[in-house]
Amino acid sequence: MKTIKYIFTLFIIWRICLFFVAFSSNYLISQFGARFPYYNTALEPTGLPNWIWGFGNFDGVHYLRLAQDGYTSKFSQSFFPVYPLLIRFLNVIPKNPAIDTRTFVDPSYFYTGLILSNLFFLGFLVFFYKLLKLDYSEKIAKLSLVLVLVFPTSFYLGSIYTESLFLMLTVASIYCFRTKKYFLAGILAAIASATKIFGVFIQVIFLIEMFMNRKNIKTKELGGQILGLVLAPLGLVAYMFYLNKNFGDALLFLNSQPGFGAGRSSQAYILLPQVIFRYIKMFLTVKVTSLPFWNALLEFIFTLIPLSLLAIFFKKIRSSYLWFSFLVLILPTLTGTLSSMPRYALVAFPIFPLLASTPGRHFRLLVIILTTVQIILLSMFIRGYWVA
């Protein structure tokens, strides 16, 4: 109970701080960037001030439209179904009959989405703490939660994005598998694999955990583990079946990616050294004072630092977590761009207890640096400028 109170207190402080920064962003950045579509039809109709509806910016508007209309828009299939489905079916807020839903998104979907994302994040914090306690001290577990909250892109976990739901499902499934609740672990992993493509890598964690504990596995227990392993990717399989049946392309979630203009390739895999070369070339040719330069630098840093930490401290990270994090960080780079990597880095959760082991004075400095960067990125995000 004491731990739950600690986690809830941290969450409330974080949420209040986010709203304060979002409110202040109007004064820090006077001009709204409007670097994404549908904000005027999906967010402004909420009647809320922009520092609140701004938490639905960018991908958020697509999830809201999916929740209301389903997969009716071109390229919308790149967004996985579980999160918008939950918004749709858990939306008990009365609809506004004056809203023309042929053009606008009913405000109730925004309210529901924002509430759910924050509840999912709270759930993630609880399960993440429980998972960390299996391997680390209470101090490291609590400091890891602090690092999650101050991480530069953690505001996405309180926005209308899939990250909070996906992370909750991921750590909950891993916790269940490690505490021998294999069927539940498989179900949660299956839902995660229909929430975000990274969910298929939870199966890798299960497989490595089975190998690590192979000498102590009983026959009955092995059956449960295999069941969890088989269930894990079924969410993605179900989504692929749906896409093939309705659109004639089981890989439409991948083939739709280039339609969002992030420079992603779906036709050929591009190796990380090639992508790094592209970015170095960009740094040499793009003006340092331009926003694209700083976006590229941010993406570059949030790719190389997490990968470097995994490489340098691989002996200190549980093998199953190490491979999961590595795959999560490498997969997006195969599309030829590092776009969104600052957000994807959140999913590489083993990095947090690693950084939480930083000695006192250095830890405080790390918290200050991460918090400062988050304030800057959140302000840009709320004011309609692309971050991740």
Exposure of 293 in the CB half-sphere (CA atoms within 13 A): 8
Q: Are residues 125 and 34 in the same domain?
A: yes
Q: Angle 163-178/182-193 helices, nearest 10 degrees?
A: 160
Per-residue pLDDT of the chain (388 residues; tens, 9 = 90+): 789 999 999 999 999 999 999 999 999 998 998 888 899 999 999 999 999 999 999 999 999 999 999 999 888 999 999 999 999 999 999 999 999 999 999 999 999 999 999 999 999 999 999 999 999 999 999 999 999 999 999 999 999 999 999 999 999 999 999 999 999 999 999 999 999 999 999 999 999 999 998 877 777 789 999 999 999 999 999 999 999 999 999 999 998 887 665 555 555 688 999 999 999 999 999 999 999 999 999 999 999 999 999 999 999 999 999 999 999 999 999 999 999 999 999 999 999 999 998 887 899 999 999 999 999 999 999 999 999 8
96, two tokens: 């506004």
Q: Is residue 363 part of a domain?
A: no
Q: Tell me the residue range of the domain where 58 lies.
A: 1-161
The SS3 assignment for 213 reads coil
Closest by alpha carbon to 257, among 203, 328, 327, 336?
Answer: 336
CB 31 within 8 A of CB 382: no
Q: Is residue 40 part of a domain?
A: yes
Q: Are residues 183 and 237 in the same domain?
A: yes
pTM over 0.85: yes
Q: Are residues 281 and 294 in the same domain?
A: yes
CB 56 within 8 A of CB 160: yes
At residue 58, the pLDDT reads 95
CB 316 within 8 A of CB 354: yes
Q: Are residues 1 and 142 in the same domain?
A: yes
Q: Are residues 151 and 32 in the same domain?
A: yes
Q: Which of residues 161, 193, 214 is at a domain's end?
A: 161
Report residue 226: phi and psi, to 5°.
-65, -40
Q: Are residues 229 and 333 in the same domain?
A: no
For the chain, what is the domain count?
3
Closest by alpha carbon to 158, among 21, 294, 295?
Answer: 21
Q: Are residues 279 and 340 in the same domain?
A: yes
Q: Are residues 14 and 109 in the same domain?
A: yes
CA separation for the pair 350, 317 (Å, rounded)? 7
Q: Are residues 191 and 297 in the same domain?
A: no
Q: Is residue 368 part of a domain?
A: no
Q: Is residue 353 part of a domain?
A: yes
Q: Are residues 48 and 102 in the same domain?
A: yes
Q: Are residues 156 and 218 in the same domain?
A: no
At residue 256, the pLDDT reads 87
Q: Angle 2-28/360-382 helices, nearest 10 degrees?
A: 50
Q: Are residues 276 and 232 in the same domain?
A: no
